[in-house]
Structure formats: C-alpha cells, structure tokens
A and B are shown apart, each in its own frame.
Chain A
Amino acid sequence: QVQLVQSGAEVKKPGSSVKVSCKASGGTFSSYTISWVRQAPGQGLEWMGRIIPILGIANYAQKFQGRVTITADKSTSTAYMELSSLRSEDTAVYYCASGGMDVWGQGTTVTVSS
C-alpha cells in the first residue's frame, strides 16, 4: 500500500514562493498520478493540478496556471508542488493524493503573512 509523506509547515512572505514535497513509499511511484489539492481554513477542497511521473506531464487548474509548477523525481519517488507570487489567500493546507485520490498525504500548512 502506497504511503505519502509531505514536508513540514511553511511560513512565507507575500510575493515569495513555496515548494512542498510529497514522498511516496510502498508502491511503484511512476505507475500512478499525483494530484495536489488545497484547503483554505474552514473551506472546502480545491484541485490545483496533477502529474504523471512516468511521463513527467503535468496538468493544471486554470486558476493556478502560471503560478504553480508540479514536478516529480522518479529517483527519489518524490513529487513537488511549487506555488509562486504568494498572497494571503494562498494560506491553506496543501495535500498530495495518489491516483484516484485513494491515498492522501498528511497535509502541509502554508501560511502567507507579512
């Protein structure tokens, strides 16, 4: 069974970037997709994009196009989500999830504050 472990909480200034990692274990990393989903405080779930590690191809939600980059390192079974030009509205818990959302990481809290 795949497990996803994410990097720790981040505090960032407005205008900066954040890069969150998601390390997979217990499965064949390249054989499934990794999505990134965020959840603002007290709000619902929002899909940001996904990557197919075996192909290195990423798809993004239009809302984040140009600000988000999702990558994967097959050698370390790790996916990354980088979000740039941060603003206060990007304060949220960011999750990675595999395949059909059947396995989720524990979440990474990103706080954007001056």
Chain B
Amino acid sequence: DIVMTQTPLSSPVTLGQPASISCRSSQSLVHSDGNTYLSWLQQRPGQPPRLLIYKISNRFSGVPDRFSGSGAGTDFTLKISRVEAEDVGVYYCMQATQFPLTFGGGTKVEIK
C-alpha cells in the first residue's frame, strides 16, 4: 500500500496569515495514464470530508481561490494564502493512483 505522510500534525495560524501543509507519498503517484491522482480534502468539525483539490492543483467547484495545491511525484503541498475562520478543521491528502486508496493522517488547522 502507498503510505501518505502529512506534516505538520497541527498548524496554529493567525487569521489572515498563510498556512502550508505537506504530504509525502511512499512511492510516485504518477499513474500509467500520465495523471497524478493526489487530492486534498477538508473536514470541518462534525461534518463529512469535502473535496478541495484534485490531481495535485485543480480546485474543485466552489472552492475559494485562497486554496492552492502544488507538487509532483512524491511531494505535495496545500497552501491557504490567508486563513479565515471557516478554514478551521482537519486536512487530508489522498492518493487514488493505486488501490487501495490511502489517506494521510491529517493536519489540524486551528486559529491561534
């Protein structure tokens, strides 16, 4: 199975300041079709997860442009340019390049 490792575990951020989350996979996420199936999901307290970013850097419908994804191969990053109160929650990276799909352990974003 592909292991997804996220850092940091927790990210206290001041409102309006940027936040960055890293995700590393145990092997390349480049699929044989040339795509890299790395997604980012947000889970607010008490809610189901919500898709933010797919295929490394594509924002899903309705996701604010303060969220951006980047990376390649085995190293990926989610950035929030200016954290807002509604961004509090746990963020997960997820790979769908190979079965079984696997998730990172999560990064908790909280306001200082």
The interface of chain A, by Cβ under 8 A from chain B, is 35, 37, 44-47, 49-50, 59, 61-63, 95, 97, 100-102, 104-107
Contact = CB atoms under 8 A, between A and B. Distances in A.
A81 to B, nearest CB: 15
B83 interface: no
Which of A35, A47, A101, A107 is most buried by chain B, counting CB atoms within 10 A of its CB?
A101
Place the interface of chain B in its size category.
20 to 34
A44 B51 contact: no
Nearest to B50: A104
Contact of B48 (A47, A61, A104): A104
A15 to B, nearest CB: 25
Nearest to A64: B100
Nearest to A100: B54
Interface in B36-59: 37, 39, 41, 48-51, 54
Most chain B C-beta atoms within 10 Å of own C-beta, residue among A46, A59, A102: A102
Contacts of B60: 102
Nearest to B100: A61
A27 to B, nearest CB: 14
Contacts of B41: 45, 101
Given A101-B39, A102-B60, A45 B48 contact: no
Given A100-B96, A101-B39, A101-B94, A47 B103 contact: yes
